[in-house]
Structure 1
Amino acid sequence: MLWTIIGWIVFGLIVGFIARALVPGRDAIGVLRTIALGVVGSVLGGFVFGLLTVGFRGFQPAGWIGSIVGAVIVLLVYNKFLAGSRRRI
């Protein structure tokens, strides 16, 4: 159980970091949000991949490519809605 959690943290950090490198612009998020970005992106990538291939199978993680694509989508949405509102204040 502990190794699963550690694996998700490391996987989320790597995927989140790659997504941040692919999306242009400066992302003012720390390490914890980068990990969350990677984990949420992986679940979103699994959901989208499931819808495109065999239909909805529930929420499950995707592989590396699906996770990165999902994390890029999450980061773009984050930058558009959440980070944009902080910049105006």
Structure 2
Amino acid sequence: MGFLSWIVFGLIAGAIAKFILPGKDPGGIIVTILIGIAGGLFGGWLGSSVFGSTGVQGFSVMSFVWAVIGSLILLIAYRLLFNSKRA
């Protein structure tokens, strides 16, 4: 799947990750959207790495799951990193 597709998936996956992990994020909605995009890209890379040569291709449920997983991982990491600095 192409880079632009992972960005679109990331936007949607970021919104779902925010729904799964509600609460106030340190950076607001714009940072959460950017984390979602990065999470979609990260999830695409992670899925392609796990599945090897077949990779994650096209718009499929599995591609979407990997984008959400990547977004959740980055959102959790972001909250742990920046919420600990506030305290």
TM-score by length of 1: 0.66
* CA distance in 2: counterparts of 1:34 and 1:65, whole angstroms: 18
Q: Paired residue for 1:45? A: 43
Q: Paired residue for 2:65? A: 65
* CA distance in 1: counterparts of 2:43 and 2:10, whole angstroms: 13
C-alpha RMSD of the superposition: 2.6
TM-score by length of 2: 0.67
**Aligned partner of residue 63 in structure 1, secondary structure:** helix
Q: C-alpha displacement at 1:38, in angstroms?
A: 1.2
Map Cα deviations across residues 13-32 of structure 1 (whole Å, 9 max, x no partner): 43212101212543344221
User: Which letter does structure 2 place at the counterpart of 1:69?
Assistant: I
Asked if structure 2 preserves the Cα contact closer than 8 Å seen for 1:13 and 1:31, the reply is: no
Q: Percent identity?
A: 31
Q: Which of 18-27 and 63-72 deviates more?
A: 18-27
* CA distance in 1: counterparts of 2:25 and 2:12, whole angstroms: 16
Asked if structure 1 preserves the Cα contact closer than 8 Å seen for 2:26 and 2:79, the reply is: no
How many residue pairs are counted as aligned between the two chains?
76
Gaps of 5+ in 2: 56-61
Q: Which of 70-79 and 15-24 deviates more?
A: 15-24
